[in-house]
């Protein structure tokens, strides 16, 4: 719908929504009209929650995860293993790994991966602060948990070279066939690697 | 992702977004993190545009379309034909018809259609105000342009009964095969009706 809106205020709100990734002008219109049907309080709560977040959001000074405090809950939790650092691309990845309940170490959020195509170089990411964390000592293992893409692999390799001479062990998350994947539809690289990197079967997965 | 968010502010913003229709918590997270990457001004502009819209929005006192003024631009445009009223369900329908550049009359926005399943009765819609507009005189034709659904048809019939004794002619938009539709995939009701309601071919469509 690239036409005249019956109201300038409506047009402005729709255009703001349509700037969001994956939201076209028709969806934007639908969302704005949905909000218009809510009461004033609900709309204010919506708008204000975003403004407040932008104003007051903090990033953990240790791992760079989003946080309400200077050091995030995970980094200030003394129950966790601070000698193991899991390196991830973004906040969602921290949440996804936390959701598995399989990891008790701490994190380091890079804020992206090296991607020359998108103009993202090592200095745009929290790589230097990772190197410093490791050089400060007390770190036994760095787990690289980036996406298995070309950019993720490039970033893995870059970090590996930076930490090569550090005392910490560098590991990378396992790649292989995913739970419930159908073998015949699995790509050759993944399937091949899952055979090469097979593990001893102990009677349970 | 139903898990713990690293920040209460983030969680609140994501939850607000996830209340919108068709937006799940993962999409909400993606949109909120996108907004977080914008500058403060952009986020304030986004949030404020919605709050301002909700506070200052007006509905045209004649046709009930969204408007910045008490009487909307269409209703106050003396170039338009005020003796023809096109009855539509919502604001988007006004915009869609305006976009065709085929209509020079005025509108009446019902604000929905009669739908007992959704608890929407005639008194929830702007039907009485339509009847009053017609009874006030000066209206020669009322075009019913509701969606060709059971609810739309019910509403058409209800309005027809209400206006039966008025002087205005009641018409309904043509139903038939849509431009570029394939005949073999057109439903029987539509195809049958398009044959019954055939029009004289004048050499051009």
What proportion of chain B, given as a percentage, has pLDDT over 90?
Answer: 73
User: Beta-carbon neighbour count of residue A163 at 10 Å?
Assistant: 21
Q: What's residue A205's pLDDT? A: 63
Measure CB to CB from residue A3 to each of B17, B54, B99 and give the nearest one. Answer: B99
One digit per residue, the tens of pLDDT, for chain A of length 205 reads: 456 788 999 999 999 999 999 999 999 999 999 999 999 999 999 999 999 999 999 999 999 999 999 999 999 999 999 999 999 999 999 999 998 889 999 999 999 999 999 999 999 999 999 999 999 989 999 999 999 899 999 999 999 999 988 889 999 998 888 888 888 888 888 888 888 888 887 777 6
Q: What's residue B163's pLDDT? A: 93
Interface contact B24, partner A, CB < 8 A? no
| Overall average pLDDT of the B134-154 stretch | 93
Q: What's residue B71's pLDDT? A: 95
Residues of B in contact with A52 (CB under 8 A): 9, 12-13
Chain A's closest residue to B99, CA to CA, is A3
Q: Do A7 and B57 touch (CB under 8 A)?
A: yes
Q: What's residue A3's pLDDT? A: 61
Cross-strand pairs, B48: none
Domains of chain B, start order: 8-56 (1.10.8.420), 66-172 (3.40.1360.10)
B52-95: pLDDT as tens digits: 999 999 999 999 999 999 999 999 999 999 999 999 999 999 99
Collapsing DSSP to helix, strand or coil, A197 comes out as coil
B 96-155: CB under 8 A from A: 96, 98-99
Instruction: Provide ipTM, 2 decimals.
Output: 0.80
Measure CB to CB from residue B73 to each of A6, A57, A58 and give the nearest one. Answer: A6
Collapsing DSSP to helix, strand or coil, B101 comes out as coil
Residue A197 corresponds to which tokens in the numbers above? 């990197």
Q: Residue B3 — very low, low, confident or very high, per pLDDT cuts 50/70/90?
A: low
From B38, B44, B80, B47, select the one nearest B63 (Cα to Cα).
Answer: B80
Interface contact B18, partner A, CB < 8 A? no
CA angle A147, A148, A149 (to 5 degrees): 95
Interface contact A95, partner B, CB < 8 A? yes
């209400």: which residue's tokens?
Answer: B162
Q: What's residue B1's pLDDT? A: 41
Q: Do B48 and A51 touch (CB under 8 A)?
A: yes
Q: What's residue A194's pLDDT? A: 84
Sign of the C-alpha dihedral computed for residues A175, A180, A183 and A187 taken in this order: negative
Interface contact B80, partner A, CB < 8 A? no
Mutate to test the interface with B, among A17, A22, A49 (most CBs of B within 10 A): A49
From A84, A123, A141, select the one nearest A107 (Cα to Cα).
Answer: A84
Q: Is the pLDDT of residue B188 over 60?
A: yes
Alpha-helical runs (H) found in B19-149:
25-37, 40-56, 91-100, 127-135
């Amino acid at each position: 719908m690239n036409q005249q809106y019956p109201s300038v205020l409506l047009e402005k709100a729709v255009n703001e929504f349509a700037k969001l990734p994956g939201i076209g002008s028709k969806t934007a219109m639908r969302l704005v009209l949905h909000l218009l049907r809510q009461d004033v309080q609900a709309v204010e709560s919506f708008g204000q929650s975003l403004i407040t977040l932008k104003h007051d959001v903090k990033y953990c000074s240790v791992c760079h995860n989003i946080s309400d405090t200077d050091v995030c809950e995970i980094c200030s939790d003394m129950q966790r293993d601070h000698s193991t650092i899991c390196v991830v691309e973004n906040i969602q990845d921290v949440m996804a790994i936390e959701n598995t309940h399989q990891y008790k170490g701490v994190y380091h959020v890079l804020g992206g991966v090296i991607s020359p195509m998108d103009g993202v170089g090592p200095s745009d990411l929290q790589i230097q602060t990772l190197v410093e964390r490791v050089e400060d000592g007390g770190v036994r293992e760095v787990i690289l948990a980036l996406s298995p893409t070309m950019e993720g692999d490039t970033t893995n390799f870059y970090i590996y070279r930076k930490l090569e001479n550090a005392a910490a062990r560098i590991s990378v998350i396992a790649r292989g066939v995913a739970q419930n994947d159908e073998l015949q539809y699995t790509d050759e690289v993944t399937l091949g690697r899952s055979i090469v990197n097979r593990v001893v079967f102990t009677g349970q997965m």
